[in-house]
Structure 1
Amino acid sequence: MIEAKNIIKRYGNLEVLKGVDVTIGDGMIVSIVGPSGAGKTTLLQIIGTLDKPDSGTVTYDGVDVLRLKDKRLAQFRNKNIGFVFQFHQLLPEFTMLENVAIPALIGGCKQSQAFKRAAELLDYMGLSDRLEHKPAELSGGERQRVAVARALVNKPAVILADEPSGSLDTANKQELHKLFFTLRDEMKQTFVIVTHDESLAGNSDRILHMRDGMIVEPDSVI
Structure 2
Amino acid sequence: MIKLEGITKSFGSLQVLKGIDLEITKGEVVSIVGPSGAGKTTLLQIIGTLDEPDAGSIFINGTNVSRMNQKNLSAFRNTHIGFVFQFHQLLPEFNAIENIMIPAYIAGTSTKDALDKATEILDFMGLKERALHKPNELSGGEKQRVAVARALINNPAVILADEPSGSLDTRNKDELHQLFFDLRNQFGQTFVIVTHDEGLARITDRTVHMIDGMIQ
TM-score (ref. length: structure 2): 0.99
Distance in 1, Cα, partners of 2:138 & 2:130: 8
Matched, 1:78 2:93: no
- The match for 1:6 is 6
Distance in 2, Cα, partners of 1:87 & 1:61: 28
- The match for 2:41 is 41
Distance in 2, Cα, partners of 1:141 & 1:206: 25
- The match for 1:166 is 166
Write the letter of the residue equivalent to 2:77: R
* Structure 1 residue ranges, 4+ long, deviating more than 2 angstroms after superposition: none
Write the letter of the residue equivalent to 1:66: S
- The match for 1:107 is 107
Give the deviation of 1:116 after TM superposition.
Answer: 1.1
Aligned counterparts, 1:61-76, within 5 A: 61-76=61-76
Write the letter of the residue equivalent to 2:186: E
Matched, 1:191 2:167: no
Matched, 1:53 2:53: yes
Distance in 1, Cα, partners of 2:176 & 2:62: 31
Q: Deviations over 1:29-59 (max 9, x none)?
A: 0000000000000000000000000001000
Write the letter of the residue equivalent to 2:7: I
Give the deviation of 1:61 after TM superposition.
Answer: 2.4
Q: Deviations over 1:51-77 (max 9, x none)?
A: 000001000122110111111101100
Paired residues, number: 216
Distance in 1, Cα, partners of 2:101 & 2:205: 30
Distance in 1, Cα, partners of 2:113 & 2:95: 17
- The match for 2:138 is 138
Matched, 1:89 2:81: no
- The match for 1:128 is 128
Distance in 1, Cα, partners of 2:76 & 2:168: 31
Distance in 1, Cα, partners of 2:110 & 2:153: 13
Gapped regions of structure 2 (runs ≥ 5): none
Gapped regions of structure 1 (runs ≥ 5): 217-222
Write the letter of the residue equivalent to 1:197: D
Give the deviation of 1:123 after TM superposition.
Answer: 1.1
- The match for 2:180 is 180
- Pairwise CA RMSD of aligned residues? 0.6
8 Å contact kept, 2:61–2:157: no
Distance in 1, Cα, partners of 2:116 & 2:134: 18
Q: Deviations over 1:91-117 (max 9, x none)?
A: 000010100000000000001111111
User: Percent identity, aligned pairs only?
Assistant: 65
- The match for 1:219 is none
TM-score (ref. length: structure 1): 0.96
Write the letter of the residue equivalent to 2:72: R
Could you say what secondary structure the match of 1:101 adopts? helix
Write the letter of the residue equivalent to 2:152: L
Write the letter of the residue equivalent to 1:55: A
Could you say what secondary structure the match of 1:150 adopts? helix
Q: Deviations over 1:128-186 (max 9, x none)?
A: 11111100000000000000000000000000000000000000000000000111111
Write the letter of the residue equivalent to 2:100: V
